Structure 1
Amino acid sequence: MAEETRRSSFLLPPPGTSYVAWLDGARMGTEQGLLEETSTRLGLPVYFGWNWDALSDCLRDMAWAPADHYLLVIERSALVLRECTEARQIFLGILDTAGRYWGLGLDHPGKSFNALLL
């Protein structure tokens, strides 16, 4: 029983406030579709610039959605930019950069940013 309890603790969210956004990969087949779905589902601020740099900036400066932990859940992720290999790599790089920024940042200890692609 102790072994089972120990393993299940990994499923519990970390302490603190969490910001979770669910995105639909089927709506993210083009760059424009990805930016629209991301903006709508995350509730990006009105100053969002509708390009890769702006998306990266918003995900690294989450002052518009204060929380301790951020989680993006992308359902049907195989459909995200599936015809646009280069754009898909840019998007995945943005998610990776945001995760590293929040996970390694000394000015915001204990915070996290994760993306779950289903």
Structure 2
Amino acid sequence: MADADHAFYEFSDALLFPGYFGWNWNALFDCLRDLHWIPADGYLIIVENAPCLLSSSAEDQHTLFRILSWAVERRANPLGRPGGKGVPFKVLLLCDRDDEATVLAQEVARALHSGRPLPGQASVEAPGRR
């Protein structure tokens, strides 16, 4: 997923996003918030070659990390969920080498602590920040 358009395509294809998917960060955020069209007891997103994930744009990469982190946190929260049960949503970022994993972990940490809002959520803090 070298650029945002490719990332949108991959997520749309893998998660069977509906035809109204808008091919932008707000739309990705909205679809990950919903997922009613593919009900499951849990979700696992596997990103192969994760060091190349949106590597041409740190801003896009950080936006995606914040959206995915939000999905992990919010889907696990039982409040407002049918039956009062959270739904596990996990993301696995695959790296070939330890040094790649270290750099990627640092980028994820930077993204989550940037204080930047999620798409469409100007007043919402980044996941993990209180």
TM-score normalised by L of structure 1: 0.73
8 Å contact 2:78–2:86 — kept in the other structure? no
Instruction: Describe the SS at the equivalent of 1:63.
Output: coil
Q: Name whichever structure is richer in strand by fraction.
A: 1
Q: CA–CA distance in 1 between the matches of 2:23 and 2:63?
A: 14
Letter in 2 for 1:114: K
Residue 106 of structure 1 is matched in structure 2 by: 79
Deviations 1:80-105 (A, max 9, x none): 11110010000000000111110124
Residue correspondence of structure 1 range 32-51 to structure 2 within 5 A: 32-51=5-24
Measured in 1, the distance between the counterparts of 2:52 and 2:45 equals 16
Task: Work out which of the residue numbers 57, 62, 72 in structure 1 matches 2:45.
Answer: 72
Q: Count how many residue pairs are aligned between Structure 1 and Structure 2.
A: 91
Separation in 2 of the partners of 1:34 and 1:105? 28
Mapped to 1, the partners of 2:31 and 2:72 lie a distance apart of 13
**Cα drift, residue 68 of structure 1:** 1.5
Structure 1 residue corresponding to 2:57, chosen from 84, 87, 99: 84
Conserved? CA contact 2:77–2:86, under 8 Å: no
Instruction: Show structure 1 runs of 5+ residues with no match.
Output: 1-27
- 1:39, distance to aligned residue in structure 2 (A): 0.9
Post-superposition, which runs of at least 4 consecutive aligned residues in structure 1 deviate over 3 A?
none
| Residue in structure 2 matching 1:94, options 63, 67, 71 | 67
Mapped partners of 1:70, 1:98: distance in 2: 10
CA RMSD of aligned residues (A): 1.0
Q: Which runs of 5+ in 2 are unaligned?
A: 95-130
Q: Which has the higher contact order (CA 8 A, sep 6+)?
A: 1
Instruction: Please list the CA deviations of residues 8-63 of structure 1 after superposition, one character each: whole Å capped at 9, or x if unmatched.
Output: xxxxxxxxxxxxxxxxxxxx101111111111122111111111011011011110
Q: Percent identity?
A: 40
> In structure 2, how many angstroms separate the alpha carbons of the residues matched to 1:34 and 1:58?
14
